[in-house]
A = this chain, B = another copy of it.
Amino acid sequence: MNSEKLKIAVLGGTGNIGEGMVLRLALQNLMPEGVKNEIIIGSRSLETAEEAAKKALSELENCGFDTSGIKITGMNNFEAAKAAEMAILTIRFDHVLPLLEEIKETLENKIVISPVVPMVKEGSFMAYRPPAEGSAALAIQKNVPETTKVVAAFHNIPADVVKCKAVHDALVCSDDEEAKKLVMELTRHMGCLKPLDGGPLKQAATMESLTPLLINLAKLNGLKDLGINFS
């Protein structure tokens, strides 16, 4: 995958988290050491996906970036997953399993990245509410082909693509060492993030639970844009 562009499907790439992900991935093409990639935004509707792709490109142009080496297209989720070598699930947990049911057959031998955090509002706090499997990542693993390599990553992507207040640690978990390394490499060039090896996929529950923790701590202690650092 080194000499060619890695084809990445951002499924749910028309939502807030997906949009930020698309921009961060696209910008890697402009960095000397970034992972070269081609982005396919996936959505339930082809039109919405195509519009999101145009919007992402024009946002990059408006920021003054040279987009001639950047390729972002839109497809429906099935075609996006089929065309890509890697799929990132930037969708809510309750939409994940129905989507996997729909695209499962396209995922043989591919990498599926889960930034998914199953959480609910409980009173004035967010609570982590993992499924019976123990985490979203493990539930996803159960619902994809055996040859699919599931990686848990990108649970806490800084909101702002350009401004970088501080570099935060970002945990990456997987049972497949090669897939984990590739995703850590993507993370390294994603802006404001330093990848840390989080170990096997079963460690994903704690990673996922950090997102509601950060939201609660920000609220309880009057803090903003919280990230996490292990040092």
A residues near B (Cβ < 8 Å) are: 125, 127-128, 166, 171, 196-200, 202-203, 205-207, 209-210, 212-214, 216-217, 220-221, 223, 226-231
A-B contact pairs, 13 of them (CB 8 A): A125-B200, A127-B202, A196-B220, A197-B220, A198-B216, A199-B216, A207-B213, A209-B209, A214-B230, A226-B230, A226-B231, A228-B228, A229-B229
Q: Which residues of B contact A171 (CB under 8 A)?
A: 217
Which residue of chain B is the closest to A229 with respect to CB atoms?
B229
B213, A166: Cβ atoms closer than 8 Å:
no
A217, B230: Cβ atoms closer than 8 Å:
yes
Of the candidates B212, B213, B231, the one whose C-beta lies within 8 Å of that of A229 is B231
Closest Cβ of chain B to A19, distance in Å, is 25
B212, A206: Cβ atoms closer than 8 Å:
yes
Interface centre among A171, A196, A203, A214 (most CB of B within 10 A): A203
Closest Cβ of chain B to A127, distance in Å, is 8
Closest Cβ of chain B to A189, distance in Å, is 18
From known contacts A230-B226, A231-B166, A231-B229, infer whether A128 and B200 are also in contact, taking CB-CB under 8 Å.
no
Q: Which residues of B contact A227 (CB under 8 A)?
A: 230-231
Which residue of chain B is the closest to A218 with respect to CB atoms?
B230
10 A-B pairs closest in CB distance = A197-B220, A229-B229, A206-B209, A206-B213, A226-B230, A199-B216, A199-B220, A197-B221, A196-B221, A217-B230
